[in-house]
Structure 1
Amino acid sequence: MAGKKSSKERVQDAIDALGLNSQVVTMPDSTRTAEDAAAACGCAVAQIVKSLIFERHDNHHLVLLLIAGNNRADLDLAAGVIGSTLDRADPKKVRAETGFAIGGVAPIGHLCEMEVYMDPDLLQFETVWAAAGAPNAVFKVEPQALAKAAGAKTLSLD
């Protein structure tokens, strides 16, 4: 398929289009886990943005949770904020609808629209690192700029 962009290229295009002033970086080793990503990026695990995709139970639409690398997604809290319980999304559905495979899901550059919610713990940092379309690709960004670019609501009861 000539002319088809890679997932990493799609993320870089989204970074540029959204004015995020960042570059996709390909690491020599996997950044699939938050711990691996933090080691590769030279940052705290809490500065890693985990992009977790779930499916709303009520309408089966995908929902993206951007969670600090040291936190676990609180699905009960999320359900209260979102208005639906969340189910684990099928990896094939994630790939078909977002264009990303599990392990490289970026917070931006999806092929589809979806609700996005961000862990407020990410907002305490000057910069965070997020997946960029492949298990070894990341980009560095200001968390407030990422939240705005992704259209993310804060995942908080406040």
Structure 2
Amino acid sequence: MSIEATKAFFSQYEMTDRIHEFPVSSATVELAAKALDCPPELIAKTMSFTLKKSDKTILIVIAGDAKIDNGKYKATFNERATMVKADQVEETIGHPVGGVCPFAIKADVDVYLDESLQRFERVFPACGSPNSAIELTIPELETYTRYKKWVDVCKNWPANEL
């Protein structure tokens, strides 16, 4: 089970006590916000994509109130956004749909962080199961995701409305 892989990952940093496991689903932004009793925008959702030109899988962690902007995505990655098919997510990433997170993932998967997260001091990404999360500061998110770089590939969050 991938929650166990995430726990093992965070145990090396003595952080397993910070992982929340809920008796209810946290598989969507709305459900996670309800389980954590926090605003939905603080949920750091991890989206999985395939870069077809390089046959590479990537994860992009974005704020709960943001959505992928296809034009920005294409400008950043030089191709259209293609999500990993739901029935291939666990095999490709190492976590099931609803629990995809940027921790304890397969070694060949790159992680990007979207600028929509930078307005927060802390966020709540999933932990490998559809009923888990961990609270991290943005510097901690940077450290533990081993992200490749920050990107600007989202729309519908407040900075874009100015």
User: TM-score, normalised on structure 2?
Assistant: 0.83
Decide which moves more: 103-112 or 44-53: 103-112
Say whether 1:124 aligns with 2:151.
Answer: no
Query: Within 5 A, what are the aligned runs for 1:17-96?
Result: 17=12, 19=13, 21=15, 23-96=18-91
Q: Could you tell me which runs of 5 or more consecutive residues in structure 1 were left unpaired when the two chains were aligned.
A: 1-5
Query: What is the RMSD of the two structures over their aligned residues, measured on CA atoms?
Result: 1.9
After TM superposition, the runs of 4+ consecutive aligned structure 1 residues lying more than 4 A away are: none
How far apart in 2 are the matches of 1:102 and 1:76?
Answer: 25
Which one-letter code corresponds to 1:155 in the other structure? V
Which one-letter code corresponds to 1:105 in the other structure? V
Q: In structure 2, which of residues 105, 112, 115 is the aligned counterpart of residue 110 of structure 1?
A: 105
How far apart in 1 are the matches of 2:28 and 2:106?
Answer: 23
Query: Aligned pair count?
Result: 151
Which residue is equivalent to 1:145? Answer: 140
Partner SS state of residue 149, structure 1: helix
**Percent identity at matched positions?**
25
